[in-house]
A and B are shown apart, each in its own frame.
Chain A
Amino acid sequence: MRRHKFTLGSIVIAAGLLYLFVASVQQSTATHLTLQNLIIKSPGDSQRIQLGGGTVVPGSIEWDQYHSRPEFTITDGEHTLKVRYTGNAVLPDTFKDKALVVLEGEYHQTNNTFTADVVFAKCPSKYEGQSYDGHVQAMNDGNS
């Protein structure tokens, strides 16, 4: 009898957890797409997208006069996309030219732009993404 009670208790707890999961998952999801897939699938304006795999086109970042809320262009080497940042947070320091960015927001198919309220940025030099040759090249560019 006692055994059944414990089993019952466990089932109740497990069911509660499961409900919590399902209810919460539905509220905070975004579909992860690469730039290429975004352009092929062109999801509706209201769908929340996490856009990965793009880098910031050098020189494309246009800050407002206070160095906030930039507009910039990202590219995957093939496609480009204009992005407007509307989020509240200060952008991470790693956000700069050539940075690999992950954006969250909505895609507007009509004018091929993206409104992002979250920007994650990974600086390519932070970890070992670049070959050493690239670094030497960059040093030479900087010197000339």
Chain B
Amino acid sequence: MIDIGYFALCLALLASGYGVIASAVGARRRQLGLVRSGENAVLATCALLTIAVVALWQALLFHDFQVEYVAENSNRSMPLFYLVTALWGGQNGSLLFWGWILSLYSASVVALYRQRYRELMPYVVATLAFTSFFFCIVHLFAADPFQQLSFTPPDGRGLNPILQHPVMAIHPPLLYLGMVGMVVPFAFAIAALLSGKLDTTWLRASRRWTLIPWTFLGFGLLLGGKWAYVELGWGGYWAWDPVENSSLMPWLVATAFLHSIMIQERKGMLKVWNLALAILTYELCIFGTFMTRSGIISSVHAFAQSNIGPFFATFLIFSLVFSFGLLWLRLPLLKADNRLESFASRETAFLLNNWVLLGMLFAVFWGTVFPLVSEAFTGEQITVGAPFFNQVNIPIGLVLLLLTGAGPLFAWRRTSNESLRKNFTTPVTAGLIFVGILFALGLRDLYALLSFGLCAFVTIALGTEFHHGTRARMRSTSENYPMALYRLCAKSRRRYGGYLTHLALVLLFVGFTGKAFTQEFEFVLEKGTSRQVGNYQLSFESLAFAEASNHSTTAAALGLHRDGEFLGTLLPERRYYPAFDQGTTEVSIYSTLREDFYVILVGSAADHSAKFKVYINPLINFVWLGSIVFVLGALWAMWPTPRDRRLARVDRASAVGLLVPRKRPHHA
């Protein structure tokens, strides 16, 4: 089976290489046969990579320890679930998984657009096939997942217990689905540049293909934060680690792209900008992969130093030069159809939003690569810590928050002073009143006041949008309020799904702001005693030692009370896994929407006294709540509408020319 897998990889290399040539030549010579052949090569690549992935899975599930990857990343005692996820547990397997997802995306694009976007598709296919070709080279020559050992060990090393957590099993695939998926809008951008078909067709094709990976990436980032919070025991969820940053950066640019698409669709402006954003998003994904896996920046997450660095660096430089060079050559064709007409317009708000997101990107990028830059200039690596990222991103983030609420209140082209006053009065008043209340309650932190005030402003602004739309609908139909609201949102999914993600951002910011009020305690308790911790009383009831099948554990039982009321028993643990010589901290959390009471058992002494660390994290659950709303909003926005289906029919019917097969079904 292993040999079959390896052989499939070799064939995939050939198939994808052929796909590039067939599509490119077919497009130049306008030969439909070749173009179709190139598309089939992409489908074949996908099938072959699927075989390779199945082969590796088979080796993992059946404990074929002669395969180095299997021996290093699994063992006999691992449950089935983690054997399956071990496919992406190590470097080589995760790269294969990456290449496989890429081929799945590519095959989906080919299968869906057999009749659509015919002028672009050959170039799209060539770009996708080229990327697959590159990954096949990496699989075969730099990170072979099927590498065999000269002997068969009796058992493998297995998976580190820290990573044995369900979230950790799905967090990487989500990030991969996000990072890899950005290749599709990139391919459409390149196709638009190569074919010279630079109208909004490529944008229309790539909007949903951006939205899908954007959602995966965003959700993956938030899940990673959740894992860090419950598993790593430092009470936080985001550390501005280079690896975290490298997946945040493409997300920021993709967010900017999703917004600026709308300006081009409506106004024919920002053509160059949109192409640049699509390219940049993709390049940042490759850059992130390169950074994570080449070891140029020290990070806790980073994979071991390996020889794939030069491969990715070469690919990165080639694709950067190629795509931006192409963009430069096409500049004369990319004149804007319109100009901004007024400051007080939706366009300006979008433009500002793009500026803010790119500013954030630049801040994160700067902080991440600063050690390299400073080394180049001064010979010393100067690192910047989390305070830098927070200091820069908090003010920028607050402007972004303002825009999520203010943007929708502006009309396209220009907004009259009167309607400005009408739209802004209620939300601004609400924000100010809220700030006043919080100030009266004793809140003095400037950023927190600003943030909460803006959250109130945005909520009311968006709420009013929903409300007014619903009322208008009720006047013209006989629907009741909930029905009118539902129909309204279902009719313009893109708009109201978008607003929903804006509300998710509000929830996230409420959670982020709570971070400013985190309380931290560290203390020793004797067994049987209790102590006041913040507004809570904590009593140390017992300490137990136990042996489980693969670990031993020390657990403390703590009773938690507030104002005399019993809230529950907390059971923080310290575990020890002898097979890995690995201790793990199992935190225990009493969670309410208002705050988390987060307790860590630091250690216990011989006299059964123990040291605890407690974090009281106000509002943190709003972050997780925001994550859910974010996904719901994004799903709502990307769901196909009748209009999409109609457009697809029109596209298919109007796709005339050499690249369309003679015998096509007539729908229209």
Pick the residue among B91, B233, B298, B355 that contacts A127 (CB under 8 A). Answer: B91
Does B319 belong to the interface (CB within 8 Å)? no
- B-contact 0/1 string along A47-71, CB 8 Å cutoff: 0001010000000000101111000
A126/B391 in contact, CB under 8 A? no
In angstroms, how far is the closest chain A Cβ from the Cβ of B71? 6
Stretch at the interface among A24-32, A73-81, A108-116: A24-32
Give the number of residues in B that approach A within 8 Å (Cβ atoms): 69
B359/A128 in contact, CB under 8 A? no
CA distance A102 to B302 in the complex (A): 13
B385/A28 in contact, CB under 8 A? yes
Chain A residues lying within 8 Å of B371, measured Cβ to Cβ, are 32
B584/A29 in contact, CB under 8 A? no
Chain B residues lying within 8 Å of A121, measured Cβ to Cβ, are 300
Chain B residues lying within 8 Å of A13, measured Cβ to Cβ, are 355, 359
Does A136 belong to the interface (CB within 8 Å)? yes
Does B392 belong to the interface (CB within 8 Å)? yes
A132/B72 in contact, CB under 8 A? yes
4 pairs of A and B residues whose beta carbons are closest in the complex: A67-B603, A66-B611, A32-B381, A28-B387
A68/B611 in contact, CB under 8 A? yes
Pick the residue among A31, A96, A128 that contacts B382 (CB under 8 A). Answer: A31
Chain B residues lying within 8 Å of A32, measured Cβ to Cβ, are 298, 371, 380-383
CA distance A94 to B508 in the complex (A): 29
Residues of A in contact with B (beta carbons under 8 Å apart): 2-3, 5-6, 10, 13, 17, 20-21, 23-25, 27-33, 50, 52, 63, 65-68, 88-90, 92-94, 96-97, 102, 104, 120-123, 125-129, 132, 135-136, 139, 142
Chain A residues lying within 8 Å of B153, measured Cβ to Cβ, are 132, 136
Number of inter-chain CB pairs below 8 Å: 151
A2/B298 in contact, CB under 8 A? no
Do A17 and B359 contact each other (CB < 8 Å), given the known contacts A31-B380, A126-B162?
Answer: yes
Chain A residues lying within 8 Å of B233, measured Cβ to Cβ, are 90, 92-93
Stretch at the interface among B9-17, B278-286, B362-370, B456-464: B362-370
Pick the residue among B157, B298, B386, B388 that contacts A135 (CB under 8 A). Answer: B157
Chain B residues lying within 8 Å of A68, measured Cβ to Cβ, are 602-603, 611
A/B interface sample: 15 pairs, CB < 8 A: A5-B343, A17-B396, A28-B384, A29-B384, A65-B603, A65-B605, A65-B606, A66-B524, A68-B603, A68-B611, A92-B300, A94-B162, A96-B582, A96-B583, A125-B580
CA distance A2 to B305 in the complex (A): 53
- A-contact 0/1 string along B305-335, CB 8 Å cutoff: 1100000000000000000000000000000
Does B604 belong to the interface (CB within 8 Å)? yes
Do A27 and B387 contact each other (CB < 8 Å), given the known contacts A20-B392, A127-B304?
Answer: yes
Given contacts A24-B388, A66-B602, 13 further A-B contacts (CB under 8 A): A2-B340, A29-B384, A30-B383, A66-B605, A66-B611, A67-B602, A68-B602, A92-B300, A102-B298, A125-B580, A126-B162, A126-B163, A128-B90
B298/A21 in contact, CB under 8 A? no
B300/A93 in contact, CB under 8 A? no
A126/B603 in contact, CB under 8 A? no
CA distance A104 to B522 in the complex (A): 21
B91/A122 in contact, CB under 8 A? no
CA distance A125 to B583 in the complex (A): 14
In angstroms, how far is the closest chain B Cβ from the Cβ of A34? 9
A93/B584 in contact, CB under 8 A? yes
In angstroms, how far is the closest chain A Cβ from the Cβ of B32? 46
In angstroms, how far is the closest chain B Cβ from the Cβ of A55? 13
CA distance A5 to B351 in the complex (A): 14
Does B272 belong to the interface (CB within 8 Å)? no
A127/B391 in contact, CB under 8 A? no
CA distance A92 to B396 in the complex (A): 31
Q: Which residue among A3, A13, A88, A126 has the maximum number of chain B CB atoms within 10 Å of its CB? A: A126
CA distance A132 to B579 in the complex (A): 16
Chain A residues lying within 8 Å of B234, measured Cβ to Cβ, are 89-90, 92
**Nearest residue, chain B, Cβ from A43:** B380
Chain A residues lying within 8 Å of B581, measured Cβ to Cβ, are 96-97
Do A21 and B162 contact each other (CB < 8 Å), given the known contacts A28-B384, A93-B232?
Answer: no
Q: Which residue among A52, A65, A97, A102 has the maximum number of chain B CB atoms within 10 Å of its CB? A: A65
**Nearest residue, chain A, Cβ from B602:** A68
